[in-house]
Amino acid sequence: MPGTPFPLRLTEEEIAALLEGALDDLLQRLARRAFHPVGVPGGGDGQVCTGDTGPAEALARLHLLVHLQRAADRLVDRAAREAAEAGAGYPQLGQACGISRQGARRRWPGLVAAPPHRPAPRTSRSPR
């Protein structure tokens, strides 16, 4: 991301690939904890079927991804609040999220305190 206020070690594409792989691994572990094995009455031995078992496994994965997305949204909101408390403004929040300043302002209205109002400097006018 050009002009990011933090140093990147990986490209955006590498970060995306890294996260997708990590999330796939996480989903497999969470599925083993959250769901009974597909197609095994009574839960079986705790292993989640990874083969083609019809819609049940895909729907369970979708269900976990929706929970993950909601959790990520909560964490994004928390991180934005922490960044604003540390002094970041809407332009920086937007840039970090890949959205515009206005998009950040719409997503988190009132999160960034408005700068104090300063009266316009007086100009001296010469009397005519």
Residues 29 and 26: their CA atoms lie apart, in Å, by 5
Mean pLDDT of 32-55: 63
Say if CB 20 and CB 26 are below 8 A apart: no
* pLDDT at site 51: 52
Q: Is residue 7 part of a domain?
A: no
Question: Bigger pLDDT: 63 or 52?
Answer: 63
Residue by residue, DSSP assigns 78-100 as: HHHHHHHHTT--HHHHHHHHTS-
* pLDDT at site 44: 47
Mean pLDDT of 92-96: 95
Q: Is residue 67 part of a domain?
A: yes
Mean pLDDT of 69-93: 96
Q: Is residue 63 part of a domain?
A: yes
Q: Is residue 113 part of a domain?
A: no
Nearest CA-CA partner of 100 in 92, 108, 111, 88: 92
Question: Bigger pLDDT: 6 or 59?
Answer: 59
Question: Could you tell me the residue range of the domain that residue 58 belongs to?
Answer: 12-39+50-107
Mean pLDDT of 19-26: 93
**pLDDT of 6 above 80:** no
Question: Bigger pLDDT: 8 or 43?
Answer: 8
Question: Bigger pLDDT: 114 or 9?
Answer: 9
Residues 24 and 65: their CA atoms lie apart, in Å, by 10
Structurally, the chain folds into a number of domains equal to 1
Q: Is residue 58 part of a domain?
A: yes
